[in-house]
A = this chain, B = another copy of it.
């Protein structure tokens, strides 16, 4: 018997109560019953985004909302900065390229966070930069970029907005959109929101909505101004992904029941336990300086094939973790602790890591990683 469990940084495990909520008979999106659900969803999203702005719900993967962020706020020929330190940083660049937006990359070694001084320097060098595009948590490397520090730089400039891909950060770490002055915040359903993929979320500050007024890029399905007008009537511009929205209500109720502060603390503890366990086993973290609390990227040790290591998690114990992407292929494993995870889930992953490394001939002292994790998990 193999009991399959998701430990991947998206999709993440879906709680049974959400699966059951989505399994009910489909309701019509023009029905008052749906509008009531959607109103609750709108309020719940504002709570998680920590914003008074409308959080728009799109029927797409997170990338759709990233595209919407670009094509609604910018114009052809605009200059932007893209923080590029992983696969999702590259995606910002690719979207800009598709729309004829000129980007200057701030290239960052994969596994490191961007230095805010590099952003100040680039903005000073070119005052016509319209936007800075960054990931809060770069899922491909497990790095957290210093979004607050970047926001402090960008908000002083009237002609520049900060666009944050918070797909694997929102609902994991404190990212108060309004308080920090983030202009566009993007997220998706299959991460901390504990849902299947298929929904994306995006919120714009007053400043970003101002930029939207001047944007000349073509948009239809991702026309956020039209989506806003529909949302304010508890509707969507086009047929919404009804069953996922019903599941989202349940997820948002879970956020409220636990309390955002506790959600952040839980993720912080699980992440720290994972990191300490890896280190106790003599393994090296890819991002020791600025790690994301959504996932932990661990380098495959000398002599251990990273692809085989990842595969063994599934083959031997049914745990679906992630490997490395692009230049990190075969070099790292990524263990997620984002969404529906508690202490003993992490113990399972660490225990599997110990058992598999031993099986693969790498010298580990069994129980040493678990002990290090327990010391964190048991602390108040």
A residues at B contact (CB < 8 Å): 4, 6, 8, 10-11, 13-14, 19-20, 22-29, 31, 59-64, 67, 71, 94-95, 98-100, 188, 190, 196-198, 217-223, 238-244, 314, 320
Contact = CB atoms under 8 A, between A and B. Distances in A.
A22 B94 contact: no
Nearest to A12: B26
Number of copies: 2
A240 to B, nearest CB: 7
A231 B64 CA distance: 18
Nearest to A100: B218
Would you call the interface of chain A mostly helix, strand, loop, or mixed?
loop
A250 to B, nearest CB: 13
B23 A4 contact: no
Interface-centre pick from A24, A94, A198, A314 (highest chain B CB count, 10 A): A198
Contacts of A238: 61-64
A280 to B, nearest CB: 28
Interface-centre pick from A11, A19, A94, A220 (highest chain B CB count, 10 A): A220
Contact of A60 (B13, B22, B59, B244): B59
The 10 closest A-B pairs by CB, nearest first: A198-B241, A23-B23, A196-B243, A98-B220, A63-B238, A61-B238, A197-B239, A61-B239, A99-B218, A64-B221
Contacts of A24: 19
B28 A13 contact: no
Given A61-B239, A190-B239, A241-B197, A11 B25 contact: no
Given A99-B218, A220-B98, A31 B243 contact: no
Contact of A239 (B11, B20, B222, B244): B11
A22 B26 CA distance: 12
A63 B221 contact: yes
A197 B28 contact: no
A222 B6 CA distance: 28
Contacts of A60: 59-60, 64, 221
A167 to B, nearest CB: 10
Given A63-B238, A218-B99, A238-B63, A22 B197 contact: no
A67 B31 contact: no
Nearest to A240: B197
30 contacts: A6-B26, A8-B28, A11-B28, A14-B25, A14-B26, A19-B23, A19-B25, A22-B243, A23-B23, A28-B320, A31-B314, A59-B59, A59-B60, A59-B197, A60-B60, A61-B240, A61-B241, A64-B221, A98-B219, A190-B239, A196-B242, A197-B241, A198-B198, A198-B241, A198-B244, A217-B218, A218-B218, A221-B222, A241-B244, A243-B243
Given A22-B243, A62-B238, 19 more contacts: A10-B239, A11-B26, A14-B25, A28-B320, A31-B320, A59-B197, A60-B221, A61-B239, A63-B220, A63-B238, A63-B239, A67-B221, A94-B220, A98-B218, A99-B220, A188-B239, A197-B241, A221-B222, A243-B243
